[in-house]
Amino acid sequence: MTQTPKNIAIIGSGLVGSLLAIYLRKKGHSVTVFDRRPDIRTIKFSGRSINLAMSNRGWRSLRKVGLEERIKEIAIPLDKRAMHVNDKPVYFQKYGKEGEAIWSISRGILNKKMIDLAEEAGAEFRFNEKVWDVNLPEAKIYTGETEKSEWKEYQYDIIFGCDGAFSRVRHKMQRRSRFDYSQDFIDVGYKELTIPANEDGTHKLDKNSFHIWPRGKFMLIAMPNIDGSFTCTLFLPFEGEVSFESIKTEEAARMFFAAYFPNVRKDIENLSQDFFKNPTSAMVTMKCYPWTYWDKVALVGDSAHAIVPFYGQGMNAGFEDIYVLNELMEAHGDDWSTIFEKYQEERKPNADAIAELSYRNFVEMSSKTADPKFLLQKKIEKWFSAKHPDKWIPVYSRVTFSERPYAEALAIGDEQESIMKEVLKMPNIESEWETKEVENKILGLLGDS
Amino acid sequence: MTQTPKNIAIIGSGLVGSLLAIYLRKKGHSVTVFDRRPDIRTIKFSGRSINLAMSNRGWRSLRKVGLEERIKEIAIPLDKRAMHVNDKPVYFQKYGKEGEAIWSISRGILNKKMIDLAEEAGAEFRFNEKVWDVNLPEAKIYTGETEKSEWKEYQYDIIFGCDGAFSRVRHKMQRRSRFDYSQDFIDVGYKELTIPANEDGTHKLDKNSFHIWPRGKFMLIAMPNIDGSFTCTLFLPFEGEVSFESIKTEEAARMFFAAYFPNVRKDIENLSQDFFKNPTSAMVTMKCYPWTYWDKVALVGDSAHAIVPFYGQGMNAGFEDIYVLNELMEAHGDDWSTIFEKYQEERKPNADAIAELSYRNFVEMSSKTADPKFLLQKKIEKWFSAKHPDKWIPVYSRVTFSERPYAEALAIGDEQESIMKEVLKMPNIESEWETKEVENKILGLLGDS
């Protein structure tokens, strides 16, 4: 269905804001994108980002507007995890089946590219223009230097809030009665660190792997960039024995890296300097509802559902919001009330599901990776799944390599958990799990469900 | 321990703000209370309040500063529920043991009285002065006509946010990183209605009862005032077949009252008019953490923990916050960092517990009062509790007639629930529950726990 061209404002020029601008331009709408920050193409990065892992949902959203190939040029496929456990050689875990991979992309490089593409598509960008207030029923926005300065008023037909976890647009919706909202921080923070390229520009570690140094309560990860460097992220408790608070000097940082990450020894100087140069960031799960106001305002991406990064799905979920919005625009044309109503109804349970899955992955990584029972369970699941790939698709694959709803992945994952709970009760399961008996037990339990 | 006099601001002149002012004046501090609204003593009420039910925790907090007797003058003791079920005579349920009662007080009358008492104690009140911003580390507040007008700056030593569920002080704390926050609205709203006194000034219904007309998805309650009237509260879903949305005319309101509340027939005209005169209000559970900022700012009462009103504990919990704060001031003198740290650590689990209990009471009233299994459980509990009053104190009594922590009441209530779950599994329990066997079963399960 075609749509009557509207005058649309997007608040936020991040990944979601710029992709939405491209979609809306394709539909013939006028699009102005406001951002309180300067043009990211003109500045150095913040030193606070985690590399992105684009997976199927993200690619599908880009493919729909013909951008998949252009973005793959700046991405590196990772088909496996590389596990760095002390006193053991690095070992690799394939993510999925042959040909399945997640793609590492630098947030800064992708964001610049997306803004370029949105401009090519005819969107107007207004950087350094801060939105302080929104009149929801009249779709007006107010911008100005500070909250107390003179404001400029703009009138639009529709406003999209793509302004992230601390969204100003949502902030305004939050003041209405009957708006549900929650923000929950975890006790772990993160810091961006860099492993530079070799002198010849090649990568210092296998470039087609997602590198993980799991250390119980903390963890280092590294994802490759196209310039040969790795963007690393150190996840560490804010407070406690080994924590951001406890590491006070470069000397202490060097000792920390040497003790826990001996195989990155050569880069310790660099890592230790980054440790004090880059900020420590917090991670939050943010949920809210409703996401829309009449046919006037809608929240998309992190402004509607911010999640912790442990499933690598934040951007993918935001891009999928846009894909779904677009399908609804095609189905309902100018009936924006219906588009927005169906959008929030369809997306809310899926956003809640990926929030839950991401939080569970955090708990799993912090506390379960050393639990022999947990590791046994994972081994049995892998073994069974290899025998019956049609009957047991792991949740990770359902989230990462499929386009089925997140809520479905969560529900099936819960079923699989309860099946495995029964299996782990079987006598001598620790030693005798590669058996016909275990296989039949699982098949039987799958039949029941 | 004595304290060095401080210059203290309290934001909010409600019940908690004015009681806290009295406590702080007793300790010798200078106290200024700011309120964005006009002096409640000079205006008509909002028509949106539910009568208060003062119980043990509230009385203890008043007694500590010598106010119990003065407030009892404006309160009416209710020692029982009066249940109005259609086609049945009204029946009564005692709340507790002989002498145990909750006390009905009009919010407006109590608030006026508390402000009088705080002024007597030497607190200064600044009404119609709106606080728009707070500088947390420097304990400064900014007031003005509007958010964008010229602001006046005040410097204090300590600031208390007693400004309710939509607290401006908390709003400022919420913008900090790692501040956990949630607001959850229920789908039921409420409306204040009035049953006036008889012409001779007496009450139309038994004045020492809390009157309830349970109707499944909705409910009417009535609590007496000292002038002979009753303040009624109608709890009703916002949307749906029988809902605030579905009752659009005075005619429809009259039919609604006639159909569902025939025994208040004489007052239908009045109730139906009130229905359209008074606003419909929403109910929210609000949780947050932390509650304090260094030794500078603390949230007290609803600003820290707003709950749904179905346990009648909102004000009692707020008054108990003050009681605990006072104990900590006596223990730690001028060490306000410790006072605030211990205050939030001690109160947070108790605030969460009463939030949970209040929400459960809402669910119980909306969906369980018609469930025969639930009613059977209540009968068995009552029977056993009468036999063994020392072994089975109902949660309601623990919350209402005790001063033990709310968290303890919740935990013991959960134990009691799991015991009753076992008991209800006993064969023929529907018919044979007044037996030695059931008694021994419960005693046995109590022994285990």
| Average confidence (pLDDT) over B7-36 | 98
pLDDT tens string A90-107: 989 899 889 999 999 999
- Which of B147, B178, B284, B288 has the highest number of chain A CBs within 10 A, making it the mutation to test binding with A? B178
CATH of B7-45+106-181+288-361, one of 3.40.228.10, 3.50.50.60, 2.40.50.100, 3.40.50.2000: 3.50.50.60
| Burial category of A89 from C-beta neighbours within 10 Å (exposed 0-12, middle 13-18, buried 19 and up) | exposed
Residue B76 — φ and ψ, nearest 5°?
A: -125, 125
Q: pLDDT value at position B353?
A: 98
Cβ–Cβ of B182/A184 closer than 8 Å? Answer: yes
Contact indicator for A397, A404 with CB cutoff of 8 Å: no
Contact indicator for B7, B123 with CB cutoff of 8 Å: no
| DSSP states of A46-95 | -S--PPEEE-HHHHHHHHHTT-HHHHHTT-EEE-EEEE--TTS--EEEE-
Name the 3-class secondary structure at A32: strand
DSSP strand E in B199-263: where? Answer: 209-215, 218-224, 230-237
Candidates A421, A328, A315, A436; CA nearest to A373 is A421
**Closest residue of A to B185, CA-based?**
A178
Q: pLDDT value at position B36?
A: 97
Name the CATH architecture for the domain at A52-105+187-282.
Answer: 3-Layer(bba) Sandwich (3.50)
User: What residues of A are in contact with residue B282 (Cβ under 8 Å)?
Assistant: 177-178
Name the 3-class secondary structure at B215: strand
| Average confidence (pLDDT) over B426-447 | 94
Candidates B309, B363, B185, B280; CA nearest to A180 is B185
pLDDT tens string B384-395: 999 999 999 999
Residue A132 — φ and ψ, nearest 5°?
A: -105, -30
User: What residues of A are in contact with residue B174 (Cβ under 8 Å)?
Assistant: 183
Tokens of B100: 């145990």
**From edge to edge, which strands make up the β-sheet containing A52-54?**
A52-54, A102-105, A76-78
Cβ–Cβ of A282/B177 closer than 8 Å? Answer: yes
**Closest residue of B to A287, CA-based?**
B182
Under 8 Å CB pairs connecting chains A and B tally to 35
Rounded to whole angstroms, the Cα distance separating A74 from A104 reads: 9
- Over 70: is that where the pLDDT of A1 sits? yes
Candidates A129, A77, A121, A82; CA nearest to A98 is A77
User: What residues of B are in contact with residue A152 (Cβ under 8 Å)?
Assistant: none
| Average confidence (pLDDT) over A71-92 | 93
Q: pLDDT value at position B265?
A: 83
- Over 90: is that where the pLDDT of A449 sits? no
- SS3 for B100-126 is CCEEEECHHHHHHHHHHHHHHCCCEEE
B439 or A47: which leads in pLDDT: B439
Cβ–Cβ of A181/B185 closer than 8 Å? Answer: no
Q: pLDDT value at position A45?
A: 66
User: What residues of B are in contact with residue A178 (Cβ under 8 Å)?
Assistant: 185, 238, 282
Q: pLDDT value at position A46?
A: 67
pLDDT tens string B303-334: 999 999 999 999 999 999 999 999 999 999 99
Of B148, B166, B181, the CB nearest to A183: B181
Q: pLDDT value at position A363?
A: 86
Torsion of CA B344, B345, B350, B352, to 10 degrees: 80
Cβ–Cβ of A178/B238 closer than 8 Å? Answer: yes
Cβ–Cβ of A282/B182 closer than 8 Å? Answer: no
- Among the listed ranges A347-361, A388-402, B356-370, B421-435, which one has the minimum average pLDDT value? B356-370
Q: pLDDT value at position A448?
A: 63
Q: Which CATH superfamily is domain B52-104+187-282 in?
A: FAD/NAD(P)-binding domain (3.50.50.60)
Residue B369 identity: T
Q: pLDDT value at position A88?
A: 87
| Average confidence (pLDDT) over B213-220 | 91
Name the 3-class secondary structure at B76: strand
Q: pLDDT value at position A97?
A: 87
Cβ–Cβ of A179/B178 closer than 8 Å? Answer: no
| Average confidence (pLDDT) over A41-68 | 92
Complex ipTM: 0.88
Closest-CA distance, B16 to chain A, in angstroms, reads 23
DSSP H or E stretch at residue A367: none
- Over 70: is that where the pLDDT of B10 sits? yes
Contact indicator for A114, A121 with CB cutoff of 8 Å: no
The number of residues making up chain B comes to 449
User: What residues of A are in contact with residue B179 (Cβ under 8 Å)?
Assistant: 183, 185
User: What residues of B are in contact with residue A164 (Cβ under 8 Å)?
Assistant: none
- Over 80: is that where the pLDDT of A174 sits? yes
Rounded to whole angstroms, the Cα distance separating A392 from A385 reads: 5
Residues of B engaging A, defined by a Cβ cutoff of 8 Å: 147-148, 166, 174, 177-185, 238, 282
Cβ–Cβ of B182/A183 closer than 8 Å? Answer: yes
Cβ–Cβ of A238/B178 closer than 8 Å? Answer: yes
Cβ–Cβ of A183/B184 closer than 8 Å? Answer: no
Q: Tell me if B7-45+106-181+288-361 shares its fold with B52-104+187-282.
A: yes
Q: pLDDT value at position B46?
A: 66
A216 or A405: which leads in pLDDT: A405
Percentage above 70 pLDDT, chain B: 99
Residue B167 identity: S
Q: pLDDT value at position B58?
A: 98
pLDDT tens string A274-297: 999 999 999 999 999 999 999 999
- Which of A168, A183, A191 has the highest number of chain B CBs within 10 A, making it the mutation to test binding with B? A183
Name the CATH architecture for the domain at A7-45+106-182+285-361.
Answer: 3-Layer(bba) Sandwich (3.50)
pLDDT tens string B102-137: 999 999 999 999 999 999 999 999 999 999 999 999
Residues of A engaging B, defined by a Cβ cutoff of 8 Å: 147-148, 174-175, 177-185, 238, 282
Percentage above 70 pLDDT, chain A: 99
Contact indicator for A129, A35 with CB cutoff of 8 Å: yes
- Over 60: is that where the pLDDT of B449 sits? no
Contact indicator for A287, A352 with CB cutoff of 8 Å: yes
Rounded to whole angstroms, the Cα distance separating A444 from A442 reads: 5
Contact indicator for B52, B210 with CB cutoff of 8 Å: no
Cβ–Cβ of B185/A180 closer than 8 Å? Answer: yes
Residue B322 — φ and ψ, nearest 5°?
A: -70, -40
Cβ–Cβ of A183/B179 closer than 8 Å? Answer: yes
Q: pLDDT value at position A49?
A: 84
Enumerate residues 6+ apart whose C-beta is below 8 A from A128. Answer: A35, A36, A37, A38, A39
Contact indicator for A301, A164 with CB cutoff of 8 Å: yes
Q: pLDDT value at position B399?
A: 97
Report in angstroms the alpha-carbon separations of A348 from A263, A288, A292, A343, A345. Answer: 43, 9, 11, 8, 6
DSSP H or E stretch at residue B442: helix B436-448
Task: Provide the 8-state DSSP code for A335.
Answer: -
The number of residues making up chain A comes to 449
Enumerate residues 6+ apart whose C-beta is below 8 A from B249. Answer: none
Candidates A74, A81, A54; CA nearest to A205 is A81
Closest-CA distance, A109 to chain B, in angstroms, reads 27
- Over 60: is that where the pLDDT of B14 sits? yes
- Over 80: is that where the pLDDT of B448 sits? no
pLDDT band at A161 (very low <50, low <70, confident <90, very high): very high
Candidates B445, B449, B437, B434; CA nearest to B384 is B434
Rounded to whole angstroms, the Cα distance separating B148 from B137 reads: 23
Contact indicator for A292, A299 with CB cutoff of 8 Å: yes
pLDDT tens string B338-380: 999 999 999 999 999 999 999 999 888 777 766 888 889 989 9
Closest-CA distance, A300 to chain B, in angstroms, reads 20
| Average confidence (pLDDT) over A186-199 | 95
Residue B355 identity: A
Q: pLDDT value at position A249?
A: 94
Closest-CA distance, B23 to chain A, in angstroms, reads 32
B323 or B47: which leads in pLDDT: B323
| Average confidence (pLDDT) over A102-120 | 97
The full set of domain ranges for chain B reads 7-45+106-181+288-361, 52-104+187-282, 371-448
